Chain A
Amino acid sequence: MSVPSCQLFDQTKEECGVMQSPLVDFSYVGIDAILEQMRRKAMKQGFELNIMVVGQSGLGKSTLMNTLFKSKVSRKSVLATSQEKIPKTIEIKSISHDIEEKGVRMKLTVIDTPGFGDQINNENCWQPIMKFINDQYEAYLQEEININRKKRIPDSRVHCCIYFIPPTGHCLRPLDVEFMKRLSKVVNIVPVIAKADTLTLEERDFFKKKIREELRSNGIDVYPQKEFDEDAEDRMINEKIREMIPFAVVGSDQEYQVNGRRLLGRKTKWGTIEVENIAHCEFAYLRDLLIRTHMQNIKDITSSIHYEMYRVRRLNESNTAVTQANGIPEHHLSAHEM
C-alpha cells in the first residue's frame, strides 16, 4: 500500500485535501454503452422483413423487388416458369431469402399476389389478401398467448404492402380506391406509380397530385400516416415524404453502360432510363424510404398499431363469446375475414 501524499498525523482533513462532495461528476458511468450491447444483440439475432406486392400482372412488381434488394428475391426469379399464366383466382405466394449486408443479416420475405385485379370480375379481390394479413396477426397472437412462449416469436406479419398503380396518367381506378381504403386500415400501404417511364414529368406531377387528392377525399391513410407521427421531428420528415407520394418508379435488373459507368436501367431508342437517377424516376426515394430510413419504423407501426388493433378486436370478441356461451371460453378462436 503506497504512502499517502500528505502526512496525516499532523494535518487536518481540510489541509490534506479531503473533500466531502456528495455528487462527483469527473468520471462517467458509461450508460451509453447500452447502445453497443443492443447492437450486438441485434446483429446476432438478425432482422425480419415481410413485404407484400399487390397490383395487376405486368406492372413490374417482381422486377421492382429484385431492383430494391439487388438480387433475385421475387417469386418469378425463383420459380422458372416459361409461360406465366394468370391464375383463375388470387393466390398468395411467399418466398423467403436470407440476405446479408455488412454483417447485418435479414430474412426477407416477399409476398406476391398473382391474380389480383386480373379477372373480368374483380369483386372482392381484396378479401383473400385481407384474410392473409389477418391470418398472420392471428398466428402471432396465438404464439403470444401460449403458455410456453418462444424466446423470439417468428414474425410473419406483413410489414408493408406496396400497391402498384398503373400509369394511366388520369386518376385512381375504382379498384385502387376500394383496395387501399380497406387495406390501409390493417397494414401499411405504400402506393407507387408503376412503369413510370411512360409518363413525362408534367404528366407525372399531374397524376400524383390527382392521386393524393383522391386518397384524401376517400379518407385513405397511406404510409407514413399522419396520425402516427411521434414528434415534431418525425412530422417534419414525414410531411416531406407525404408531399412526394406516390413514388413514380421504374425497375430494372439489367445493367447498361452510361457515361463510363455501369448502371441499372432500361435501354430504348430514345435514351437510357437510369433507375437510380432521381432526375429520371423516384426509385431511389422509394428505396431510401423503405430500406434505409424507415424500415424499422414500418415494422414498429405494424407491431404497435396494426397488430395491437387486431389484438384488441380479437380479445373483445372472445370476451363477448365468453359471456354468450355462459362463461366458458372457447378453445380455438379461428380467424375469419373481416
Chain B
Amino acid sequence: LDGNTGDKEYVGFATLPNQVHRKSVKKGFDFTLMVAGESGLGKSTLVNSLFLTDLYKDRKLLNAEERITQTVEITKHTVDIEEKGVKLKLTIVDTPGFGDAIDNTECWKSVADYIDQQFEQYFRDESGLNRKNIQDNRVHCCLYFISPFGHGLRPLDVEFMKALHEKVNIVPVLAKADTLTPTEVQKKKIKIREEIEQYGIKIYQFPDCDSDEDEEFKQQDLELKESIPFAVIGSNTVVEAKGKRVRGRLYPWGIVEVENSAHCDFVKLRNMLVRTHMQDLKDVTRETHYENYRAQCIQSMTRMVVKERNRNKLTRESGTDFPIPMGPAVSESETEKLIREKDEEVQHFLHL
C-alpha cells in the first residue's frame, strides 16, 4: 500500500481483472483433453506435437494377434507445463483399442462411461461438505480422429459422435492429412460437414463473435468455423527445411511442415485449443454438459427415493443417505408432485 492517488477520477476497481489473474496464476490451470479414434491415425503424435511433450515415450504397440483380445481401455497421462509463469496441468485421456476389434459394437460405451464417471465424481465432490480442493477431472474436449482413407464419415464415426455429443465437446479432426492433396482435403471437409449436419451430430460450436470485436478477430473466427474438421498432421521429429529447423515429416518428394498453415490446419487447431478457446471449452463443459448430467442425475435419484418411500411406507425406514439436493421443482412432473404430496402427508402426521 503506498497511498498513491493518481488520476483524480480514478477509483481503481479497473484492477479487478488483474486481481483475479493473480490468484489464477498462483493456482495454475487444468485442462483435460480426450483423443479418440482408431489406432494408427496419429493421435499420440498429434498430442505430442500440440503440447511439445513426449507422453508416449515408452509405449508398446500391440500386434494384430494381441489386439484381438484387447478391449477398449481408458488411459490417462498427466503432464505439468509451464510457460511465462503460467502453469497448466494437462491431462490426456486416451482410448486405445477403440475401433480396432472385428466387432466394434458399442465400443464407445467405456468412453461414455468414463466421461459420466468424471461427472459423477464432480457431482459428489460438489455436493459434499469439504469443497476446498475439488479436483476437476471432467473431460473438457474430445478430439475425434476421422480416417482420411474413407469417403467421409464411417458408421462407427457417426455412432461414436452421436453417443457422446451431449456429454463432451467434440472437435472432429481429419487425421494424417498429408495423404491428401489440397483439393481432396477440401472435398472431404465439405462432405464431412454435410454428414455431420445430416446425422444431427452436435459438435463443439465456436461462440459467435461480439459485434464490437476487431475485424482481424472476426476474420479469424470465420476461418476457424470453415476449417472443420481440422486437417492435421503431427510429427515427433525435427527436420531441416530451407535452413530452418521445423517439426515435420520427411518424404522423398518433399518435407511436410506441421506448423505451416499452407500444409495443414495444425496451427489453427492448436491456437483454437490452447490460445483462444480453452476457457470456452471448459465453460461449455461446466455450464452445459455437466449441468445436463447433474439435472438428469437428480431427477433419477428423486424417482429412486419415491420408489423407496413407497416400498417403505409401512416400515418408515430412512431413504438414501446421499445428500439429495431438493430445490423448487421446475416442472410439475408426476414424480415431483408425488413427493410433495407424500411430504405433506408425513408432516401432517408428525405434527399430530
- Judged by a CB distance under 8 angstroms, whether A240 is at the interface is yes
Distance A8 CA – B275 CA, assembled complex (angstroms):
37
- Judged by a CB distance under 8 angstroms, whether B259 is at the interface is yes
CB of B21 within 8 A of CB of A327, answer no
Distance A36 CA – B131 CA, assembled complex (angstroms):
27
Chain B residue with the shortest CB-CB distance to A1:
B254
Q: Which size bracket describes the interface of A in this complex? A: 35 or more
Q: How far is the CB of A244 from chain B (nearest CB, A)?
A: 8
- Judged by a CB distance under 8 angstroms, whether A241 is at the interface is yes
CB of A284 within 8 A of CB of B88, answer no
Q: How far is the CB of A73 from chain B (nearest CB, A)?
A: 10
Q: How far is the CB of B58 from chain A (nearest CB, A)?
A: 11
Scoring A residues 198 to 231 as 1 if CB is less than 8 Å from chain B, else 0, what string do you get?
0000000000000000000000000000000011
Distance A241 CA – B14 CA, assembled complex (angstroms):
22
CB of A30 within 8 A of CB of B326, answer no
- The DSSP consensus for interface residues of chain B is mixed
Interface positions of A from 275 to 294, Cβ below 8 Å from B = 276, 278, 282, 284-285, 287-289, 291-294
Q: Which of A116-124, A145-153, A167-175 contacts B (4 or more CB under 8 A)?
A: A145-153
CB of B19 within 8 A of CB of A295, answer yes
CB of B247 within 8 A of CB of A24, answer yes
Distance A282 CA – B3 CA, assembled complex (angstroms):
8
Distance A1 CA – B291 CA, assembled complex (angstroms):
49
- Judged by a CB distance under 8 angstroms, whether A101 is at the interface is yes
CB of A31 within 8 A of CB of B86, answer yes
CB of B129 within 8 A of CB of A326, answer no
List residues of chain A with CB within 8 A of the CB of B277. 37
Residue among A24, A101, A148 making CB contact with B13, cutoff 8 Å: A101
- Judged by a CB distance under 8 angstroms, whether A34 is at the interface is yes
Scoring B residues 322 to 352 as 1 if CB is less than 8 Å from chain A, else 0, what string do you get?
0111111110000000001011001000100
- Judged by a CB distance under 8 angstroms, whether B60 is at the interface is no
- Judged by a CB distance under 8 angstroms, whether B50 is at the interface is yes
List residues of chain B with CB within 8 A of the CB of A37. 276-280
With known contacts A8-B252, A34-B29, A35-B21, A47–B13 Cβ distance under 8 A: yes
- Judged by a CB distance under 8 angstroms, whether A57 is at the interface is no
With known contacts A32-B84, A34-B278, A284–B3 Cβ distance under 8 A: yes
- Judged by a CB distance under 8 angstroms, whether A2 is at the interface is yes
List residues of chain A with CB within 8 A of the CB of B81. 29, 31
Which residues of chain A have a CB within 8 Å of any CB of chain B? 1-6, 8-9, 13, 16-35, 37-44, 47, 49, 68-70, 99, 101-104, 106, 142, 145-149, 151, 230-231, 240-241, 244, 262, 276, 278, 282, 284-285, 287-289, 291-297, 300, 304, 308, 312, 315-316, 318-319, 322-323, 325-331
